Amino acid sequence: MDKLLITGGRPLRGEVAISGAKNAALPCLCAALLTADTVTLENVPQLNDIGTTLKLLRRIGVKAERDTTDHGEDGSSVVLAADQVQALEAPYELVKTMRASILVLGPMLARFGEARVSLPGGCAIGQRPVDQHIKGLAAMGADISIEHGFVVARAKRLQGAVIRTDMVTVTGTENLLMAAVLAEGRTVLENAAREPEVVDLAELLIAMGARISGHGTDRIVVEGVQRLHGATHRVMPDRIEAGTFLCAVGAAGGEIVLRNVAPGSMGATLDKLRQAGLAVECGPDWIRAGMPGRPRAVDFRTQEYPGFATDMQAQLMALNAIADGTAVITETIFENRYMHVQELRRMGADIDIDGHTAVVRGVPRLSGAAVMATDLRASASLVIAGLMAEGETLVDRIYHLDRGYESMERKLLQLGADIRRVAGSWQ
């Protein structure tokens, strides 16, 4: 099992290109199931989750190929054609590591009238049921049940419906949106997720001929059509990867420029980092950020978009660990998303947890230690902690990191960090 070895204390300097968004690319890949024509996605990041999704789509019968660069390496475009789908099933071995695999359910059911999808895995940050996906599809007329760990669904043709989810759910909104585009009649999704990744998916679906309005608000209206056609779509930049690099420079010091970013999708993160003392300047697709001194502690609570993203909580907590003052952090989206706290404590952080609230009393410095990554963003927070800690930090179980960050250590090296990947046997 690979680990990351980081020697802390080096400020970050230079430029880095941000990859396409994992959480937008995943639903867009699944949307290719909605048509027999070719769908081309550009700016698709090279991540384990994307690889797993491509495997899953191929198992279903979708042709899915990445382009190659002039140097013979994998490129960032993926061409998909779901013209010979054979197996309307998503098996456990491909679904267990990845939450987003549930996103094949809506499209398969809408286009083929049946689907059998193993209940998904993903980051172990809470219970993460899919009851709202199921409730929504049932409201559209699907006959749907859980059998032997699989969601099994059938429908002649889905019927438009008014669906109000009990809570805001990102993949729930995406699944129901993909089901609604081929349903008969009008579907209204109330309490819909407003996340930019939902908007990105809606833009792809519209390019494929779907009739959607209200995406980006909490009420999405879909007029179902008989069929969709092919399209080419560029996946939005990863706002969480960009935010992670901003937390890294905030914690380690220095000045960096991020290219291929969408600052408009990062309002809450930028606000909090500015409060922490990060000097930030934004252009249409770039961000320049520098940290002149020690960060200031910032309180925050995670919320649905446009609030502060839960996927940024661990990284901003790492920055708060060495900030001047005390920060109160409240996690409102997931019930078990403080797994990084005990590892940060091993590095000298002073953090108490009481239910959904974490109190972080900033210490002047952290000290390097061997730590264990427990989920994707927890891993990123430990890397940030390692960059600013005194001495060596060894982050174990970085397969979590590889699920969602493209070449993180290469990008950090480019910014001057002392970081390298080591094979599992390193002591």
Ligand X SMILES: CC(=O)N[C@H]1[C@@H](OP(=O)(O)OP(=O)(O)OC[C@H]2O[C@@H](n3ccc(=O)[nH]c3=O)[C@H](O)[C@@H]2O)O[C@H](CO)[C@@H](O)[C@@H]1O
Residue numbers belonging to the annotated binding site for phosphoenolpyruvate: 22-23
Q: Is 30 considered catalytic here?
A: no
Quick one: 119 or 297, whose CB is closer to ligand X?
119
Q: How far is the CB of 136 from ligand PEP (least distance, A)?
A: 18
Q: How far is the CB of 138 from ligand PEP (least distance, A)?
A: 23
**How many of the chain's residues bind ligand PEP (CB under 6 A)?**
11
Q: Which stretch binds ligand PEP (CB under 6 A): 6-14, 95-103, 285-293, 345-353?
A: 95-103
Q: 410 near 17, Cβ under 8 Å? A: no
Quick one: 4 or 26, whose CB is closer to ligand X?
26
Q: How far is the CB of 50 from ligand X (least distance, A)?
A: 11
Quick one: 215 or 403, whose CB is closer to ligand PEP?
403
Question: Binding of ligand X at residue 175 (CB under 6 A)?
Answer: no
Q: Which residues contact 29 (CB under 8 A, 6 or more apart)?
A: 41, 44, 50, 53, 54, 57, 64, 78, 80
b (16+ CB within 10 A) / e for 375-409: bbbbbbbbbbbbbbbeeebbbbbbebbbbbbbbbb
Q: How far is the CB of 376 from ligand PEP (least distance, A)?
A: 5
Q: Which stretch binds ligand X (CB under 6 A): 68-76, 167-175, 206-214, 229-237?
A: 167-175
Q: Which stretch binds ligand PEP (CB under 6 A): 1-9, 94-102, 155-163, 214-222?
A: 94-102
Residue with nearest beta carbon to ligand PEP = 122
Among positions 360-389, residues that touch ligand PEP (CB under 6 A) are 376-377
Question: Binding of ligand PEP at residue 311 (CB under 6 A)?
Answer: yes
Question: Binding of ligand X at residue 54 (CB under 6 A)?
Answer: no
Q: Which stretch binds ligand X (CB under 6 A): 10-18, 63-71, 109-117, 127-135?
A: 127-135
Q: Which does 143 bind (CB under 5 to 8 A by kind): ligand PEP, ligand X, none?
A: none
User: Which of 27, 106, 122, 237 is close enough to bind ligand PEP by CB under 6 A?
Assistant: 122
Q: Which stretch binds ligand PEP (CB under 6 A): 121-129, 141-149, 210-218, 286-294?
A: 121-129
Neighbours of 87 (CB within 10 A): 11
Residue numbers belonging to the annotated binding site: 22-23, 99, 128-132, 311, 333
β-partners of residue 160 are none
Q: Which two tokens stand for residue 322?
A: 């060495």
Binding flags for ligand X, 91-120, as an x/- string (CB under 6 A): --------xx--------------------
Q: 121 near 98, Cβ under 8 Å? A: yes
Among positions 19-48, residues that touch ligand PEP (CB under 6 A) are 23
Q: Which does 167 bind (CB under 5 to 8 A by kind): ligand X, ligand PEP, none?
A: ligand X
Neighbours of 121 (CB within 10 A): 15
Binding flags for ligand X, 302-331, as an x/- string (CB under 6 A): --------xx--------------------
β-partners of residue 12 are 254
Q: Looking at 28, 123, 247, 282, which residue is catalytic?
A: 123
User: Which of 172, 224, 263, 290 is close enough to bind ligand X by CB under 6 A?
Assistant: 172
Among 122, 53, 112, which Cα is nearest to 86's? 112
Q: How far is the CB of 120 from ligand PEP (least distance, A)?
A: 9
Q: Which does 111 bind (CB under 5 to 8 A by kind): ligand PEP, ligand X, none?
A: none
Q: Which residues bind ligand PEP (CB under 6 A)?
A: 23, 98-100, 122-123, 125, 311, 376-377, 404
Q: What is the set of active-site residues? A: 123
